[in-house]
Amino acid sequence: MRKTILFILLGLQTLCAQSLYVHTDKETYLPGEILWFKVYALNADTHVPVQEKGIAYIHILDQNGNSVLDTKLALENKNSGSVFIPQRLQAGKYTFTASTLGQTGAPFKKSLVILNPFAVVGQVMQERTPSVQFYPESGNLIEGISSRIAYIVKDGTGQKVDAELYQGEQKLSSPFHWNPENGTSLYAIFPGGKRVDLTLPQPLKSGYVLEAVSGQTAYTVQVKASKDFAGKSVKLTYGTGKHINLTLNGEGSARTQIEKSDLPDGTSLLSLWDAEGLPRAERVLFRKPGKQLELKGNLNKTVAKTREDLSFELGSSNVEQLAQVSISVRKVDSLLKENEENIHSYLYFSKHLKGIVPHSEYYLSKASEEEIEHLLMTQGWRKLNTTEGSTEGRYHLVRIRFSDKSTGAPISHQEAYFSVPDLSPMIYSARTNADGIAHFWVKNLYGTRNVATRLASGAAANADLLKYEPVKEEADFELPYGGKIPVKAYSEQAISAQVQNVFYAKERSQFLLPTSLDSLSIYGKPDYRYLLDDYTRFVVMEEVLREFIKEVNVRKNREDFHLRAFDAPRGNYLSGDPLILLDGIPLKNANEIMNYDPLKVKKIEVVASKYFFGNQIYDGVVSFHTYKGNLDGFQLDPSFTVFSYEGLQPEREFYVPDQKEGTPDQRDVLLWVPQVELQAGKTQQISIKTSDLKGDFIVDVQGVDKEGKSGAQKIRFTVE
């Protein structure tokens, strides 16, 4: 007796709180270029790299929150990926997101610019009307309760401007205290004198207000609630597992202090919970971080020539055990801007903030207390997510919805198959839920592959692949470069991108599959394996089975064939039908394989005992394999749905030309190294080869050690 165990429990483990950070090779791209990225998967509280394997879902979103590019990356080795930028994308600002299935907390986000000289840009480039965005400290205004409100003013291009805000004759500065008796009508005077009438968000009749005012060593926290909550108990949670219980007085108010020394470094969450344990409000707090990974990089030259070899030495003065860092060496100019964020500023500042935070490193090092508080109030509030997540481990989830072809109703509680034809075929079993959705936990499916699925019963059904979609959230609109693209740099970059694709398209499309892929069949090692080229070849499948495969008995009942696998332990043939596979595709009956050309079959494998697959029990397995693992002309039963599926992304190799004489080298990204390991007291030597491009370049180094210390460094040089 043999069972197939898919380790589905791996896909149902509760996630430890986890944060992702993504280092990209640069911030601005043109069609034909490759976006290189490295994913850091870290413990959300300690920032220590997590050891659990998983899948990162990468999406590039347009300004309306729609995914225009996506890929899946296995988090198990270098965590290095790439995305080719196609010509179909319009010019504009995009949002790069990364998340894991069931991730707790917000996904990683960063802003990218894509410029396209081949696409119409009218829709993206049109300006919007000036606007004022209001941010009540607790997310909502409550009738009868004063609240602090911060605001941001933007002009028609999405740029922040210093407009003046008034309520009556009173000028308001961000943040300001709103008194309910003053009403909700305001107006703004924009530069140039334009007046815009405004209205605050409509107050709710009942609810809570959470106010946290930063002092030198502590936050003063006040909870205010509508009268219907007077005398109720509430709880504040903050830091790592800390909490304070409060009881609201007769006015619905309570006050306390939270020492900053009790907070973790960087940004963290203060949450308000009511007496029923429901989340009511959330606020981001900040404590200036003290620890940082000190990276020490040195170039042998700060001024280099074109096509010259440079040596870069990298180490760390305070690395604990081991640090993993990634390196991008790239050109910077009026078009190719420097990155405004790094792993340290993201983990300790931007992680808990909504949207993209420009110049986040500034807030860690130079910003005043008032600047920090304003940013925390404008980009710090979001709704609590109290659901627990699940991690995919080494498997990733493929969801397929089965529905009735006539009525469209979901087909629930039925066994279904998902097959990947190949030389080492894969087949998975799952049961549809009440919505007709089958969850297949699929292992080691890399690249774009043809896959097939059907119900185990063989009944005809619609099968729709459900893609993993990020939470749709419109991005703040902002024209790249304020709508004024630097023409000279733009032209040079467009030529550079085209030259790389003309001369090095093949070299830039080399991918590496993981060396540890499991080639074992779903049934493990077969009891018997027959390589048909070792025998006299027959042209009829029935003759092949009768003459050579003694563990399979062929029976015929009128027009229908049946196969019976030999039960070796009992010395007789099993009475039921075995699972019959062709390149991993389960066949409905033996007639299908008996009509197939045996000269196209390379080998036959037999499992000679009862076989449990999902909820199905088969009397053995008879598996046929073609020479190329591609079904080789076999006509699938109409009950199958076949579609192209993009699996996990194989690692693309970064290519550096050998710079043969007469061959151009227009690389603006001179080097991308997704993983360099640093040890205490040791340095690493990295070679950099300059291209034909002249100008200013940076070496952008980012990483984290095993103790959770993160750090970044930029080293500048010029090519003349």
Cα–Cα distances in angstroms (integers) from residue 483 to residues 45, 121, 122, 231, in the given order: 40, 11, 11, 55
Range 431-455 burial, b when 16+ CB lie within 10 A, else e: ebeeebbbbbbbbbbbeeeebbbbb
In whole angstroms, what is the distance from residue 112 CA to residue 61 CA?
10
Taking CB atoms within 8 Å and a gap of at least 24, the contacts of 358-366 are 358/111, 364/266, 364/288, 364/289
- Shared domain for 186 and 105, answered yes or no, is no
In whole angstroms, what is the distance from residue 133 CA to residue 151 CA?
5
- Shared domain for 69 and 138, answered yes or no, is no
- Shared domain for 152 and 254, answered yes or no, is yes
Domain total of the chain: 3
pLDDT of residue 327: 97
Spatial CA neighbour of 450 closest among 189, 274, 628, 255: 628
Range 340-367 burial, b when 16+ CB lie within 10 A, else e: bbbbbbbbbbbbbbbbbbeebbebbeeb
DSSP run (H or E) holding 532: none
Task: Give me the CATH number covering residue 409.
Answer: 2.60.40
pLDDT of residue 520: 64
- Angle (nearest 5°) at CA 26 between 37 and 490: 140
Residues in the chain: 720
Point out the domain boundary residue: 466, 487, 504: 466
Q: How many CB atoms lie within 10 A of CB 171?
A: 11
Tell me whether residue 227 is in a domain. yes
Query: For residue 488, what are the contacts with CB-CB under 8 A and spacing of at least 6?
Result: none
DSSP state for residue 440 in the 8-state scheme? E
Quick check: 611 and 523 in contact, CB under 8 A?
yes
Q: Which two tokens stand for residue 387?
A: 């659901």
pLDDT of residue 483: 61
Tell me whether residue 396 is in a domain. yes
pLDDT of residue 479: 54
- Shared domain for 142 and 110, answered yes or no, is no
Quick check: 661 and 462 in contact, CB under 8 A?
no
Q: How many CB atoms lie within 10 A of CB 681?
A: 9
Point out the domain boundary residue: 235, 255, 287: 287
Summarised one tens digit per residue, pLDDT across range 312-365 is: 999 999 998 899 999 999 999 988 888 889 999 999 998 888 767 777 888 888
- Shared domain for 154 and 282, answered yes or no, is yes
Q: Is 223 left (phi over 0), alpha (psi -120 to 50) or beta?
A: beta
Taking CB atoms within 8 Å and a gap of at least 24, the contacts of 158-163 are 158/128, 158/476, 158/477, 158/478, 158/479, 159/478, 159/479, 159/482, 161/130, 161/190, 161/191, 162/191, 163/130, 163/132, 163/188, 163/189, 163/190, 163/191
pLDDT of residue 383: 41
Tokens 């089958």 — which residue?
438
In whole angstroms, what is the distance from residue 699 CA to residue 714 CA?
5
Amino acid (1-letter code) at residue 605: E
Task: Give me the CATH number covering residue 481.
Answer: 2.60.40.1930
What's the whole-model pTM score? 0.82
Q: What percent of the chain has pLDDT over 90?
A: 52
H helices, E strands: number in the chain? 7, 52
Q: Which two tokens stand for residue 588?
A: 């409905």
Query: For residue 280, what are the contacts with CB-CB under 8 A and spacing of at least 6?
Result: 207, 208, 210, 234, 272, 273, 274
In whole angstroms, what is the distance from residue 18 CA to residue 40 CA?
10
Tell me whether residue 500 is in a domain. yes
- CA 193 from chain centre, in angstroms, equals 45
Spatial CA neighbour of 423 closest among 597, 627, 642, 645: 627
In whole angstroms, what is the distance from residue 151 CA to residue 136 CA?
9
Range 195-205 burial, b when 16+ CB lie within 10 A, else e: ebebebeebee
Spatial CA neighbour of 107 closest among 152, 67, 53, 51: 67
Point out the domain boundary residue: 466, 488, 520: 466
In whole angstroms, what is the distance from residue 147 CA to residue 177 CA?
6
Task: Give me the CATH number covering residue 265.
Answer: 2.60.40.10
pLDDT of residue 524: 82
- CA 590 from chain centre, in angstroms, equals 43
Q: Residue by residue, what is the 3-state secondary structure of 30-44? A: CCCCEEEEEEEEEEC
Quick check: 655 and 666 in contact, CB under 8 A?
no
DSSP run (H or E) holding 408: none
**Segments of the chain scoring below 70 in pLDDT:** 1-16, 102-105, 118-128, 156-158, 355, 381-395, 471-483, 513-520
Quick check: 301 and 671 in contact, CB under 8 A?
no
- Shared domain for 141 and 258, answered yes or no, is yes
Tell me whether residue 677 is in a domain. no
DSSP state for residue 540 in the 8-state scheme? S
Tell me whether residue 147 is in a domain. yes
In whole angstroms, what is the distance from residue 270 CA to residue 238 CA?
5
Summarised one tens digit per residue, pLDDT across range 503-542 is: 888 877 777 766 555 556 778 889 999 999 999 999 999 9
Tell me whether residue 364 is in a domain. no
Q: Which two tokens stand for residue 27?
A: 């911030």
DSSP string, 297-338: EEES-SEE-TT-EEEEEEEESS--SEEEEEEEEEEESSSSPP
Q: How many CB atoms lie within 10 A of CB 219?
A: 22
- Shared domain for 158 and 268, answered yes or no, is yes
- Shared domain for 61 and 152, answered yes or no, is no
- Shared domain for 275 and 397, answered yes or no, is no
Summarised one tens digit per residue, pLDDT across range 34-72 is: 999 999 999 888 899 987 778 899 999 988 888 999 999
- Shared domain for 117 and 135, answered yes or no, is no
- Shared domain for 98 and 156, answered yes or no, is no
- Angle (nearest 5°) at CA 719 between 713 and 720: 155
In whole angstroms, what is the distance from residue 525 CA to residue 442 CA?
19
Tell me whether residue 691 is in a domain. no
Tell me whether residue 280 is in a domain. yes
- Shared domain for 188 and 257, answered yes or no, is yes
Tokens 């062929």 — which residue?
554
Q: Give me the domain span that covers residue 418.
A: 391-466
